[in-house]
Amino acid sequence: MKILMVLTSHDQLGDTGKKTGFWLEEFAAPYYVFIDAKAQVTLASPKGGQPPLDPKSDEADAQTDATRRFRGDTTAQKALATTVPLGEVDPYDFDAVFYPGGHGPLWDLAEDKDSITLLEAFYASNKPIAAVCHAPGVLKNVTAPDGHPVVKGKRVTGFTNSEEDAVGLTKVVPFLVEDMLKAKGGQYSKAGDWASYVVEDGHLITGQNPASSDAVAEALLKRLGQEQNG
């Protein structure tokens, strides 16, 4: 079982002068779900090397068992520091792909040609695609084999407009995940702000926010198990 995790390389929070990147818990929780299931995990990012960590996700109130485990795990830290450049990844080498969120992906992965090509290959091959929080934003420019947006007619979720408003970045981000998914024809739904919520539609799995990270990863494993046993 080979799973690819794709992280952002973008570290600028718009014109605010502040830093962004990937959200630590949204990487660490799924990573350990996969590792504990004996999956072979490969980490990639547009630029390769160490992806930028959103400093807010490293603050004390954002820590979880998974993030604390990561801080004591030199093997995982080394893997994260040496991500493979996305352009060197062959989608046919993997059984599934997972995108952690953080605000970074809205700037780079949503527009990244390598990421778009990768996702289109996964989708056309009926391989599971999972994304959590802001990461469903990476589907913005991805098309299905019929030429329609990949989310058109699909049940999806992602970071809500009200959650974005709560963190004060509605006017900073290049687009709102909820609005984009609806505009592309997705059947968007959500739970209450900050509640765990996962939506599955075929091999497309999306989660609403950081609290959904574990559940999205578990859903991805379950989907892989069904396909490998079916």
User: Number of structural domains, the chain?
Assistant: 1
CATH number at residue 116: 3.40.50.880
pLDDT (tens digit per residue) in 159-211: 999 999 999 999 999 999 999 999 999 999 999 999 999 999 999 999 999 99
Cα separation of 165 and 31, whole Å?
A: 28
- Is 80 exceeded by the pLDDT of residue 227? no
Q: How far apart are CA 26 and CA 69, in angstroms?
A: 13
Between CA 208 and CA 198 the distance in angstroms is: 7
pLDDT band at 38 (very low <50, low <70, confident <90, very high): very high
Three-class secondary structure assignment of 151-194: CCCCEECCCCHHHHHHCCCCCCCCCCHHHHHHHCCCEECCCCCC
User: Residue 150, Cα to own-chain centre: how many angstroms?
Assistant: 16
pLDDT at 230 over 70: no
Domain hosting 17: range is 2-229
pLDDT, tens only, 144-154: 999 999 999 99
Sign of CA dihedral 47, 27, 20, 129: positive
Backbone angles phi, psi at 147, to 5 degrees: 90, -10
Given a contact cutoff of 8 angstroms between Cβ atoms, the answer to whether 205 and 199 are in contact is yes
12-23 pLDDT, tens digit per residue, is 999 999 999 999
| CA–CA distances in Å: residue 104 to residues 12, 33, 170 | 8, 23, 14
